[in-house]
Structure 1
């Protein structure tokens, strides 16, 4: 059995995606800061007979993030799929003219150093398996910079560039890097952006391996 590792686990999209990949036969590793919340998610998955483990780690702490991913692989099996989708902090959302150089440190750590740390932790295992999937989930500011949220716009653009480079250089090793852009809010029951629909899209991207950037729905004009 191989493992689906989710960085940024939560009760919405995270839980839905964990359930979708778990239903397909993968063990599930949930990584987030709050250990108590992780326990609740694991209990929810257990009701569906999905083997899961939660490991507390902060994406701004690269050492804890690496340790968490290595521990998950040791306990559950090699990580075949990594999803990086933590929710950005509210203080990343300053307008561009109110954003200082120091204000960009945390967003870039969150959206660049975090993904790089995760990929470096799981890539050796994927190479040993001979396959793998790296899934990056971002909002629309990753592709359409929004001056109202300068930190995430800048950091998401950098994350997009990193993910695209991974897509290009790893394709020959049967390791697929892809990005899903979610233009608006994730809404229960929404046609294109409910947690369950988005989880299905992410699973399809993993299965089809047919391109780098995908959209849950078209960007609004």
Structure 2
């Protein structure tokens, strides 16, 4: 049995995606910096008959992130699918003219160093399996820079470039990298951007392996 590792586990999209991959037979590794949050999510998945375990890490702390993924792979099974979808902090979203060079340190750590750490941690196991999936979830500023949220616009664009390079480089090894862009808010009443619909979309990206970038909704004009 292989593992679905979710970096940025939350009660909305994270829980829905963990449930979808867990119901397909994968063990689930939930990674978050909040222990109580992890306990609650793990208990809910366990009630659904899904084998899940939480691992504490902060995506801005490379050592803790690397340790969490190592522990997940050794205790639950090789990580076959990685989803990187932590929610950016509010202080990443300053207007462009109010953004200093120092203001970009945390967003770039969050959206570039975090993903690079995760991929380097799981790639050996995927290569040993002979297959794998790397899923990246971003907002619209990843493809359409927004001067009101300069930090995420810069950092998401860098994450997109990294993920695209992975897609092109790893495809011959049967390791699929793909990105899902969610232009607006995730809402229970949204037809295509509710947690369950997005979870199914991410599962389909893993299963069908049809291209790099996907959109939950068209970008607004």
Name the residue aligned to 1:215: 215
Structure-1-length-normalised TM-score:
1.00
CA distance in 2, matches of 1:190, 1:22: 23
SS at match of 1:50: coil
SS at match of 1:176: strand
1:149 aligns with 2:149: yes
Alpha-carbon displacement from aligned partner over 1:8-52 (angstroms, at most 9, x marks no partner): 000000000000000000000000000111000000001110000
Quote how far apart the aligned CAs of 1:213 are: 0.2
CA distance in 2, matches of 1:52, 1:73: 12
CA distance in 2, matches of 1:35, 1:50: 19
Structure-2-length-normalised TM-score:
1.00
Name the residue aligned to 1:52: 52
CA distance in 2, matches of 1:188, 1:22: 21
Name the residue aligned to 2:164: 164
- What are structure 1's unaligned runs of at least 5 residues? none
Mapping of 1:8-87 within 5 angstroms? 8-87=8-87
Quote how far apart the aligned CAs of 1:189 are: 2.6
Quote how far apart the aligned CAs of 1:116 are: 0.0
CA RMSD of the aligned region, Å?
Answer: 0.3
Name the residue aligned to 1:195: 195
SS at match of 2:167: helix
Quote how far apart the aligned CAs of 1:190 are: 1.3
- What are structure 2's unaligned runs of at least 5 residues? none
Alignment length, in residue pairs?
Answer: 221
SS at match of 1:126: helix
